[in-house]
Every structure is written in C-alpha cells, then in structure tokens.
Structure 1
Amino acid sequence: MLEEEYQKRRRLPLHLQRRPAPERPFSYEIRPAEMRDIEDIREIYNYYVTNSVVTFDEKKWTHRQWKEKFLHLQKLDLPFLVAVAPTGQVLGYALVSPWSGKSSYRYTVENSIYLGHAATGKGLGTALLAALIEACEEKGLRQIVAVISDKGAEGSLALHERFGFEEVGRMGKVGFKFDRWLGTVYLQKSLTPKRKRGVLSRVFGSDD
C-alpha cells in the first residue's frame, strides 16, 4: 500500500473528526468604574508604563495610588468608565481628570484611555471614547484636552482625530524615557453640554 493511500485511510470520517471550537464573539459592557475594578485597571496601566512611551510614567502605580485617584474623581463627579467582559474582567478604561486645580478651569478636563493588551484592535477604544464624550457632556463639561506622546501613539492620535479633536499645539523633547527624548501633542475638542452651567462649581475651590 502506498504511503499516501495509507494516510487517507487512517483519517477519521468527517463527522468523527474534532472540529475547532468557534471563536467567541468579542462582547463587553461599558459602565462606571467601581472599587472592585481597580486591580484590573492597575494591571492594564502598568503594562503601558513598563512597555511603551504612551505614558511618561516610569514607575508602576500601586493599588493605593489608583484607589486614591478613583476616590478623587468620584468626589469631583467626573466620568470614569470601564469596559467589562461577561466574565467581569476589565478590558479597558477611560476617564477624565481636571485640567487644572484652579476653579476657572472647572469645565475643562484631560482624558485618558487604555486598553488591555488582548482587547486592542477590536473597536473598543472607539466605543470607550464615544461613551466618555457623552458622559462628559452629561456632566456639563465644555472642553476635553488630550495630551498624547509624539512617538508610539499614532493609533491614539488617529482615534481622537476621528472624534473631532483638533491639534492645538506641540512640545518637543519634554519627556525622557527608555533612553530617548519624547514630545507631546495637544488636541482639544469642544463639547455640547447637556446640563446647565455651574453644576461643577461645588467641587473646586476658589483660585489662589
């Protein structure tokens, strides 16, 4: 018997062959962040701290640091969203922080969006940014500023530009990480608030 005939005969019939399991659809829910999400958020962020220049942080954040940030944003009533898989794992997050501590800047915020490594390239960043913009408008905010590295963050730049963020300035060689100089690109988007002005005044003190 020829070898190729032997190989054909030893194969199982099609109905008995093991078929690969179908790939599960990528699904998630976007909701406000909760205290239980902090550890997943910390792991997502720290991956970028140690492996990229999209953040200029050089030291990993601790659980305590993230807890303090979560409570601070909660006190300011600023949006902090997570995308969560059906298993409960955080796939990515989006938040805004005060652009400045001075009260006159209370309607302007800076955004941050980070995705888990396995959740990139699936449209999650688009969904999170859309939800974040809507949440900011519901809070009565007027401007979002994005500060993005001028190297290694081309995807983030393209994402923000698709949502109408416009470049308003650049700073060169203001950061130094992984033995190289890095600059920043500033983008800005005007919002259409859905709440009356003044709702945020209670969370900021007066200017010094």
Structure 2
Amino acid sequence: MGVRIRDVAAGDMAAITAIYAVEVTDFVNTYEYDVPDQAEMARRMQDIVARGFPYLVAEIDGEVAGYAYANTYRTRVAYQWTVENSVYVDARFQGHGVGTALMQALIDACVARGYRQMVAVIGEPSNAASIKLHERFGFHLVGVFRGLGRKHGRWLDTVQMQRALGPGADDAPTHE
C-alpha cells in the first residue's frame, strides 16, 4: 500500500470535499463553520492552481487519501515569497505516511517555484499530529495566538509555525 503523489484533477473534488467536510464539522483544523459544497471546493482549487500554487493529491490504491496545497500567506506584495500550507488526510489513511508524503512534495514544489518561507497555521495546540508533522520537516514554533477564533462553542488558540524554503532569507530573490 504505497502513497502516490500527483497534481490535483477535477475528478478529485468529491473526495477532497468529503475529507474537508469532516474537518469543518468535527474538528477545528479549519475555522469554517459551514461545509462548502463540491462546486465551491472546485472553485477554490481552480483559483489556487490558476495563481501558480501547487495543489497535490495523495492516492493509495487509486483512492484519494489526502490533499495539500500552498496559498498566499498575506496579500501585500512584500509577502510574495511566503506561502501558507494546508495538509488534510482522510481519517482512514492516517498513520500510513500520507501526511509525510504530501508535506515533502508540497515543500519541494514550493522550493521549485522560488518561495522562501512556509507558514503553518494550526488550529489548536492540542493538534499534536500536525505539530509533529511540521516539526519533522524543520518547522519551528513562532507563537500561539490565544483565543484567536471561536468554534464549537469555545475559544481556540492558534499555533503558528514557520520554516525556510531553499535559501530562505539568506539572499535576495531573483525578482522584486
């Protein structure tokens, strides 16, 4: 049962929507309250891909096991070399290396595109699996925002982690 990573395809959107729906309804890994429908998830994916960011899918035995993408960290021009990552794994495939494979491929794709920093915004300090995944890839804790969001009737702290990509901030980018 090997993990295969590839670029997202339109036919993946039903599985991606289902994976994300569980995150919205049952967890605080996203701060959305309402589950987006498949058309909205497809629109979001198309927007991300059209702007040149990587959007990847992990497959196990031909089934979508998870997905990951990078997106704008902030919209101001000075942040153009920094991306925020998102990695979601179907609960049925957790513990099978899906998150690790997705994270490595996403980092590689971002380095190839010339990005210099990657930021992880993790929905809660108790999300040990996500924090450990990021630590394995060289992310370090930047800080914890206390009570930054509210979901499921409680205030949520938000973990911020960061890692350099390629040469990071050690030299100037190829364009400014």
Aligned partner of 2:155: which letter?
A: W
Aligned partner of 2:174: which letter?
A: R
Match of 1:66 in 2: 41
Given that residues 124 and 156 in structure 2 are in contact (C-alpha distance below 8 angstroms), is that contact kept between their aligned partners in structure 1? yes
Cα distance between partner residues in 1 of 2:112 and 2:101: 17
Q: Which runs of 5+ in 2 are unaligned?
A: 168-172
Q: Structure 2-normalised TM-score?
A: 0.91
Given that residues 125 and 159 in structure 2 are in contact (C-alpha distance below 8 angstroms), is that contact kept between their aligned partners in structure 1? no
Q: Structure 1-normalised TM-score?
A: 0.78
Tell me which of 89, 92, 102 is aligned to 1:115: 89
Aligned partner of 2:122: which letter?
A: I
Cα shift at 1:189 = 0.5
Given that residues 109 and 143 in structure 1 are in contact (C-alpha distance below 8 angstroms), is that contact kept between their aligned partners in structure 2? yes
Larger % of strand: which?
Answer: 2
Cα distance between partner residues in 1 of 2:99 and 2:77: 30
Cα distance between partner residues in 2 of 1:90 and 1:61: 18
Q: Which runs of 5+ in 1 are unaligned?
A: 1-25, 202-208
1:130-160 deviation digits (Å, cap 9, x = unpaired): 1110111011111000011224411100110
Cα distance between partner residues in 2 of 1:86 and 1:64: 26
Tell me which of 22, 36, 46 is aligned to 2:21: 46
Q: How does 1:1-208 map to 2 (within 5 A)?
A: 26-87=1-62, 89-192=63-166, 197-198=174-175
Given that residues 80 and 94 in structure 1 are in contact (C-alpha distance below 8 angstroms), is that contact kept between their aligned partners in structure 2? yes
Cα distance between partner residues in 1 of 2:149 and 2:45: 26
Aligned partner of 2:53: which letter?
A: L
Cα distance between partner residues in 2 of 1:156 and 1:124: 12
Aligned Cα root-mean-square deviation (Å): 1.5
Aligned partner of 2:95: which letter?
A: G
Larger Rg: 1
1:45-79 deviation digits (Å, cap 9, x = unpaired): 11111111122111101112111111111111111
Given that residues 29 and 85 in structure 1 are in contact (C-alpha distance below 8 angstroms), is that contact kept between their aligned partners in structure 2? yes
Percentage identity across aligned positions? 37
Cα distance between partner residues in 1 of 2:98 and 2:16: 15
